[in-house]
Amino acid sequence: MQQTGTPMDWFSSPQHDAGIMTAWEHRVGGDEWHSAEVRGVVDDSWQRCLLGQVNPAADRAPPPLGEDQLMQWQGASNRLISASLPLMQQIRELLTQTGTVMLLADPDGIVLKHEGDMRIIEPAREVGLVPGCNWTELNCGTNAIGTALALGQPVQIHGAEHFCAGIKRWTCSATVIRDPFHGHVLGVIDVSGLADTYSRYTLALTVSLAGRIESRLAKDAMQRRLRVLDLCASRLGTNGPDGVLIVDEQGRLVKANAQIVPALRRLGFDVQLDASFMLPGLDTRSGTVASAAAPAWLRHAHVEILREDGVVGFMIVIPGTPAVRGAKPVAREREPHHGATRGFGRIVGDSRVLRAAVDKARQLAPSKVPVLLLGETGVGKELFAQGIHQASERANGPFVALNCGGLSKDLLTSELFGYAEGAFTGARKSGAAGKIEAANGGTLFLDEIGEMPLDIQPHLLRVLEENEIYRLGENTPRKVNFRLVAATHRDLKDAIGKGTFRMDLFYRIAVTTVSIPSLRERTEDLPALIAYWLAHMCASYGLQDRSFDDEAYACLLDYSWPGNVRELRNAIEGALLLAHGPTISVETLPAEVRAPVVPVECGAPSATGTSEQGAEASLRMTEAETIRRALDRHAGNLTQAANQLGIAKSTLYEKVRRYGLVAAVSNARRSGGLR
């Protein structure tokens, strides 16, 4: 609500009481009487009271709520009371010295608590300035509590400015208390006393106290949000395909992973997840989802209620590969816990560099030593880790994954080592086991270990050397037995030189290493990967078989894929969902994938070039021309062109990309001819 008037309009002026009283008598008598002595905020309030048919002769608030009802209202504002009451009690002596009482009311104007000079409690009771009474303008006319709520701003109401005759012997100052995150009005803090206690400073006192209450609420809310994140950290810290959205018990956004927006868009919903986001349809008292008010996309989600001494939030999970409407659900085959063939068999591709990496990982799998996987983001390091686990003697044990780059230092510490009861503010009463304990008897996969904060590293090193951990807040060690597989895209030796990674930990986790090639190092695997992911996505969405047209397929083969297999998978999934029929055209591909290719220059060498360079360029030019003619002869049919040239189709793909002949393929196909 917008503020009315200027800050000077917030304060009363007792010297004008007589003129204000005259103006009030005319207004309640039905006269259109205006006086310069009546402040704008008061005149506006009187007008609202007249329109609301408030009784100007009233001498008190309506009767208070019963004891049971009051307890229910207080319970609904428990956090507001918990944040406010200690501060109200701190200024009890000041209130006693000034002959005033302080009142805390909720957004509906119900007084929840009072504190202050007990000598005026009885006069306050006579007019209803006690817990359980409702002090909105429509109940009690112009007054500091009700008018502050109506305006959403600080206000002071003195003596004759009150609308109801029986309250004109009081003076009061109040301001609203707002939610520190979203600005919603949570309640009102008020200082009231008999008219002779008037002081301009009481309004400043309420404003100052409201600010302190809001600060306490912000701190409490942050601690609760951290507890909610703690309950969900394992899900948020993974690289799984599911979209995960975390909201607090009021439905306000706490955290969302990177997959949630794409997951919602795949369902046809464009949801703005910003600081103002609030999920409707949540019953905060029962901790359930009210379907009538909930958004349509929530029907596609799994909702988990987060409890810790009551409901503290909700975790909403959107499956990464949801079934489309009318499609049959696709059964997911559970990965067996034994044998190397099934595990490493999920790694698609037959290139020499990839097979060398797989063979090395398979050879290391039966050993017990840690393995460090090296490779760029998106190359499939977790798939290698799962293969190692399934080919090891620990295959029947758990496989526990944690991304060290997805969590803050404190959350990562508690996620790794767990914590004891009362280890920190917001800790679960029963404590919690960490990922290291969860991996006991199995394999712990620490992805992006190069992102691990430096001060956590010695604790992990000790666990690896002693095979025991200490939960946070505990003095008794717990024995653990697990196999570590770590992964990073960083140069850890460079990090050691910069002082961001410990040398002793590096040599402990890098007993053996496996380098996983990037996709641009194994372009001959692209056809197999494209076929695999296209078939997989069609099955996941319950669609009939789809295929790329020649131009789109050529773009997929030509692109360098800096995001590796993950980027390829996302591009195929997006193109599939945007396609209008069984054939996927180039327009559905991401802009960077369908960008035109700059041909490799195959002309004659410059005068400064060596004779060897000139000969090499001449050979390249001849080979490019031979391929172009073969493409023309077979109207762009790559299979027939490869057969004519006597080379593998995958080799032809690579040469088409290398010599910038994608446009030649398209032109040959447009020109017609035999296919």
Reported as a single tens digit per residue, the pLDDT across 346-360 is 888 889 999 999 999
DSSP 387-423: HHHHTSTTTTS-EEEEETTSS-HHHHHHHHH-B-TTS
> Are 578 and 623 contained in the same domain?
no
pLDDT of residue 182: 74
Closest CA to 179 of 262, 272, 120, 248: 248
pLDDT of residue 210: 94
161 vs 117, higher pLDDT: 161
pLDDT of residue 265: 77
We report the CATH number of the domain holding residue 440 as 3.40.50.300
pLDDT of residue 325: 34
* 2 is a domain residue: no
pLDDT of residue 617: 60
Return the H-helix or E-strand segment holding 157: strand 155-158
pLDDT of residue 626: 75
> Are 275 and 361 contained in the same domain?
no
How far is residue 155's CA from residue 245's CA, in Å, rounded to a whole number? 40
We report the CATH number of the domain holding residue 308 as 3.30.450
pLDDT of residue 63: 93
> Are 160 and 300 contained in the same domain?
no
pLDDT of residue 331: 28
pLDDT of residue 151: 92
> Is the pLDDT assigned to residue 396 strictly greater than 90?
no
Q: Give the confidence band of 218 by pLDDT, cuts at 50, 70, 90.
A: confident
Please give the share of the chain, as a percent, with pLDDT higher than 90.
Answer: 37
Beta-carbon count within 10 A of 244 CB: 21
* 604 is a domain residue: no
Q: Give the confidence band of 46 by pLDDT, cuts at 50, 70, 90.
A: very high
Tokens (6 digits) for 322 = 């949801």
> Are 384 and 443 contained in the same domain?
yes
What average pLDDT score do residues 511-530 get?
A: 92
Domain end call among 160, 189, 220: 220
pLDDT of residue 613: 54
Listed in sequence order, the residues at least 6 apart from 106 whose beta carbon sits closer than 8 Å to its beta carbon are 73, 76, 77, 80, 112, 186, 187, 188
> Is the pLDDT assigned to residue 330 strictly greater than 60?
no
* 231 is a domain residue: no
Give residue-wise pLDDT tens across range 265-285: 777 777 777 767 888 766 655
pLDDT of residue 313: 84
Give residue-wise pLDDT tens across range 615-671: 556 566 767 777 877 787 777 777 777 777 767 666 777 777 777 776 677 666 655
> Are 502 and 524 contained in the same domain?
no
> Are 349 and 270 contained in the same domain?
no
Sign of CA dihedral 578, 582, 587, 593: positive
Sign of CA dihedral 629, 632, 636, 637: negative
Beta-carbon count within 10 A of 518 CB: 20
Residue 187, φ and ψ in degrees, nearest 5 = 170, -165
Q: Over the chain, what is the mean pLDDT? A: 81
> Are 213 and 275 contained in the same domain?
no
Sign of CA dihedral 125, 129, 133, 139: positive
* 333 is a domain residue: no
Listed in sequence order, the residues at least 6 apart from 95 whose beta carbon sits closer than 8 Å to its beta carbon are 101, 102, 115, 116, 117, 191
Poorest-confidence range of 485-499, 537-551, 565-579, 641-655?
Answer: 641-655
pLDDT of residue 607: 43
> Are 180 and 152 contained in the same domain?
yes
Q: Which domain holds residue 109?
A: 7-220
Give residue-wise pLDDT tens across range 163-197: 999 999 999 999 999 988 778 899 999 999 998 88
As a residue count, the chain comes to 675
Q: Give the confidence band of 600 by pLDDT, cuts at 50, 70, 90.
A: very low
> Is the pLDDT assigned to residue 13 strictly greater than 80?
no
* 286 burial type by CB count under 10 A (0-12 exposed, 13-18 middle, 19+ buried): exposed
We report the CATH number of the domain holding residue 537 as 1.10.8.60
Alpha carbon 536 to its chain's center? 28
* 153 is a domain residue: yes
Q: Give the confidence band of 291 by pLDDT, cuts at 50, 70, 90.
A: low
> Are 193 and 156 contained in the same domain?
yes
> Is the pLDDT assigned to residue 335 strictly greater than 70?
no
Please give the share of the chain, as a percent, with pLDDT higher than 70.
Answer: 82
Domain end call among 489, 517, 545: 517
Tokens (6 digits) for 97 = 């010295």
Give residue-wise pLDDT tens across range 465-512: 999 988 887 888 899 999 999 999 999 999 999 999 999 999 999 989
What average pLDDT score do residues 413-428 get?
A: 69
Return the H-helix or E-strand segment holding 301: none
337 vs 363, higher pLDDT: 363
Beta-carbon count within 10 A of 40 CB: 11
We report the CATH number of the domain holding residue 639 as 1.10.10
Listed in sequence order, the residues at least 6 apart from 268 whose beta carbon sits closer than 8 Å to its beta carbon are none
pLDDT of residue 105: 96
Strand partners, 445: 401, 485
> Are 202 and 261 contained in the same domain?
no
Give residue-wise pLDDT tens across range 79-100: 899 999 999 999 988 898 899 9
pLDDT of residue 323: 39
Give residue-wise pLDDT tens across range 139-163: 999 999 999 999 999 999 999 999 9
> Is the pLDDT assigned to residue 2 strictly greater than 70?
no
Poorest-confidence range of 219-228, 241-250, 330-339, 571-580?
Answer: 330-339
pLDDT of residue 406: 64
What average pLDDT score do residues 223-252 get?
A: 76
pLDDT of residue 336: 33
pLDDT of residue 419: 81
433 vs 294, higher pLDDT: 433
Listed in sequence order, the residues at least 6 apart from 551 whose beta carbon sits closer than 8 Å to its beta carbon are 585, 586, 665, 666, 669
* 107 is a domain residue: yes
> Are 165 and 90 contained in the same domain?
yes
Angle CA(210)–CA(213)–CA(214) in degrees, nearest 5? 85
Domain end call among 517, 549, 573: 517
Tokens (6 digits) for 64 = 């208070």
* 324 is a domain residue: no
Poorest-confidence range of 127-136, 334-343, 406-415, 433-442?
Answer: 334-343
pLDDT of residue 148: 95
> Are 185 and 270 contained in the same domain?
no
* 384 is a domain residue: yes
What average pLDDT score do residues 136-141 get?
A: 94
Closest CA to 306 of 400, 227, 217, 219: 227
pLDDT of residue 329: 30
651 vs 51, higher pLDDT: 51
Poorest-confidence range of 311-320, 321-330, 346-355, 427-436?
Answer: 321-330
What average pLDDT score do residues 516-545 get?
A: 88
Q: Give the confidence band of 434 by pLDDT, cuts at 50, 70, 90.
A: confident
Q: Report the number of distinct structural domains present in the chain.
A: 5
